[in-house]
Structure 1
Amino acid sequence: MKIEPDKIMQEYFNYLRHYRGVSEKTLKRYESTIRDLLEYGITKKGTDRFLKSLKKYKESSIQTKIVIAKSFVKYLYEHGYIKENYLANAKAPRYHSLPKYLTDEEFKAITDKMNDYYRALAIFLRNTGLRISEYHNLTEKDIRITGEYAELRIKGKGNKERVLLIERKLLDLANKYRLFENKKSIRAIQKYFNKHGIHPHLLRHTFAVEFLNRGGAINQLQAILGHSNIAITDIYTKVTSNNVVIKAF
């Protein structure tokens, strides 16, 4: 079956949108890799040349590009566009970038310099492990109080929902500083945090490392963070230490 680059990309992206819940931002990252692959041609020779062309990139980028290309070629094979999955055995380099995180002392030193609103937000993110986008999408209707705890209904990547149980005092802190009523834009939050030398995602990493240091199970952490693959969560086990004592706030 003849492959028309623009047409097949549109078809594949529609598939990812509707059946895999992939965001437009992620699709934008996929586009250049898939266009490069199509330029080389979806043949054995073309895909081999594509793989060789990746040598100029750093390992993390090579890994990402191979994953994107493998998924695309698999789609073409399963939908009858090609007779062989040419990248079925392609292996991405093993790349392990250990997540950075903050110690209690570092966290306190940074947040002591913040205003009350952003300090409360930093504490909330550090103690929930939420992505900044997940926090931003939270509304009061997504929160249910159950005694000493509160349930948060989180809409994560790919519109997948999960329920997070937090201590009531953490919700009280959020309400005190109107973290749900008076949300700043994601850009404003990132800009403020960057000014203080951190990024919102660093607080998610910090939560994950602390959770494991306190004896939490890896499968529990996977569910809390909303990871689809436990291999993603497993990276945090490489930086945990049994001698760290964690306090909430």
Structure 2
Amino acid sequence: MNNVLVEMRQLFVQYLQTEKNYSSLTIEHYVNDLEHFFVFLHKEGVTTVEEVDDIHARLYLVQLHQEKYARASVSRKVSSLRSFFAFLNREELRLTNPMSYVLHPKKEGRLPHFFYENELEQLFLACEGTEPLNIRNKAILELLYATGIRVNECTTIQLRDIDLTMSTLLVKGKGKKERYVPFGGFAQDAIKIYVDKSRPLLLKELQHTSLFVNHQGKPLTARGIRHILTKLVENTTLTASIHPHMLRHTFATHLLNNGADLRTVQELLGHAHLSSTQLYTHVTKEHLRKTYNSFHPRA
């Protein structure tokens, strides 16, 4: 990669870290998008950002479609590049933003998948048992469903972040933003049993304060949680695949289905914009429509 482009990328990364306070995962996505674009520029013989124009932007969009990227991926890459060139404009490293001429492709209108209550019961039954890993898995499942936290937020929980007396969790979210989320009695009991009985056995001789640990006693990773949930589904009669975000979707959908107001759900989820939470109102409306069509005599 051209040294000038590498320098520009590094300046942009510093901006995302210090001024935007983006998480390492978010920054990684930006870097990957930039590197993919820089490879394209290299093939086009472009060596500096000053040379990039709206024609290059359109050609890049054509390449993305030829490589059969999903609309959501194309949308994210365009957004990343717009932010990059906007940063260069601000720093007076170039005067225009070539990505502003590119139409932002709309994301596919997919509704988030969630579990029905009877499906959740199967998951909870799948992690019943007295073995330390069973106890840990139940605590993870209860907490994810009780709070709607992201899987990355779950892996960063420290023992001091859990208040079992007040049944609240301090969550460190995106952009280093913190929020307190309450949880109910089922999650409280599962976590208390895990912390008192299971975690010390799994921890062995290691000493750290991460709440959830793997079978080696090390802090549990996001990949580890995904593996745990996949194995739980395999021990049920459920046919759908699972990803941790489904529990977050389920948390929000069940709250709205049972009468929670949108602003409260927004705060619990840690959404910066209400529009992100409003997606779940479409889920609940779709659920109502299907129920109506299934049971009304003249539907």
Query: Aligned residue for 2:48?
Result: none
Shift of 1:209: 0.8
Residue 9 in structure 1 maps to residue 9 in structure 2: yes
Q: Tell me the matched-pair count.
A: 240
| SS of equivalent residue, structure 1 residue 4 | helix
Residue 190 in structure 1 maps to residue 190 in structure 2: no
Unaligned runs of 5+ in 1: 245-249
Shift of 1:111: 2.2
Shift of 1:64: 1.1
Summarize the Cα distance change of 1:154–1:74 in structure 2 as closer, same or farther, 3 Å threshold: same
Query: Aligned residue for 1:122?
Result: 141
Contact 2:146–2:184 (Cα < 8 Å) also in 1: no
Shift of 1:105: 0.7
CA RMSD of aligned residues (A): 2.6
Q: Distance in 1 between matches of 2:187 and 2:126?
A: 20
Amino acid at match of 2:160: K
Q: Distance in 2 between matches of 1:80 and 1:51?
A: 25
After the TM superposition, which residues 78-89 of structure 1 pair with which residues of structure 2 at under 5 Å, given as runs?
78-89=90-101
Amino acid at match of 2:35: R
Structure 1 consecutive aligned stretches of length 4 or more whose deviation exceeds 4 Å? none
Query: Aligned residue for 2:79?
Result: 67
Residue 235 in structure 1 maps to residue 247 in structure 2: no
After the TM superposition, which residues 134-173 of structure 1 pair with which residues of structure 2 at under 5 Å, given as runs?
134-144=153-163, 149-167=166-184, 170-173=187-190
Summarize the Cα distance change of 1:205–1:212 in structure 2 as closer, same or farther, 3 Å threshold: same
Structure 2 counterpart of 1:104, from 117, 121, 125: 117
Amino acid at match of 1:71: S
Query: Aligned residue for 1:92?
Result: 104
Q: Distance in 2 between matches of 1:104 and 1:13?
A: 43
Post-superposition Cα deviations, 1:161-184, rounded to whole Å, max 9, x if no partner, equal 111123355323311222898222
Amino acid at match of 1:17: Q
Contact 2:164–2:192 (Cα < 8 Å) also in 1: no
Shift of 1:25: 2.9
Segment of structure 1 superposing worse, 187-196 or 72-81: 187-196
Q: Distance in 1 between matches of 2:224 and 2:279?
A: 29
Shift of 1:123: 1.9
Unaligned runs of 5+ in 2: 45-50, 129-133, 200-211, 214-219, 234-241, 292-299
Post-superposition Cα deviations, 1:110-159, rounded to whole Å, max 9, x if no partner, equal 2212244212321221111012222232233223466xx42322111221
Query: Aligned residue for 1:113?
Result: 126
Contact 1:138–1:180 (Cα < 8 Å) also in 2: no
Summarize the Cα distance change of 1:36–1:141 in structure 2 as closer, same or farther, 3 Å threshold: closer
Post-superposition Cα deviations, 1:10-54, rounded to whole Å, max 9, x if no partner, equal 100111111112233333322242234341652232223223322
| SS of equivalent residue, structure 2 residue 97 | coil
Summarize the Cα distance change of 1:112–1:144 in structure 2 as closer, same or farther, 3 Å threshold: closer
Amino acid at match of 2:150: R
Larger radius of gyration between Structure 1 and Structure 2? 2
Contact 1:74–1:85 (Cα < 8 Å) also in 2: yes
Query: Aligned residue for 2:33?
Result: 33
Amino acid at match of 1:206: T
TM-score (norm 1): 0.84
Q: Distance in 2 between matches of 1:25 and 1:180?
A: 33
Amino acid at match of 1:51: L
Segment of structure 1 superposing worse, 80-89 or 5-14: 80-89
Q: Distance in 2 between matches of 1:99 and 1:50?
A: 30
